[in-house]
Amino acid sequence: MEDYYVATFHSVSQALRFEKMLLSQSVTVKLIPVPRVLSSSCGIAARFGEDVYPKITELAQRDLAELEGVYRFTHQGRKAQAHSCPGPWDENSE
């Protein structure tokens, strides 16, 4: 399986704004349910490939993306593992 990234949001409306903003820039993301490995609550996340990650980081640095967190998903066999990606979406980053 191919590795991918997942961005989480504080609200569904933030996820929808994020998708709309990226689509207006011809960047494709897919809205998905938040993976259980990240949260057991309901919610929407955005899934995207490694090629989109630099664009997401740029938007977050410019305060244009309201992200809660970004995670890289890797696979060992059939099991997916999530790794938190540090970046401008972290409250503690400066």
DSSP letters, the chain, are: ---EEEEE-SSHHHHHHHHHHHHHTT---EEEEPPTTT-SS--EEEEE-TTTHHHHHHHHHTT----SEEEEEEEETTEEEEEEPPSTTSTT--
pLDDT confidence band for 4 (50 / 70 / 90)? very high
pTM for the model stands at 0.86
pLDDT in tens, 11-61: 999 999 999 999 999 998 999 999 988 887 779 999 999 999 999 999 888
Which residue carries 């996340």 as its tokens? Answer: 45
pLDDT, tens digit (0-9, with 9 covering 90-100), for 68-94: 999 999 988 878 889 999 988 886 444
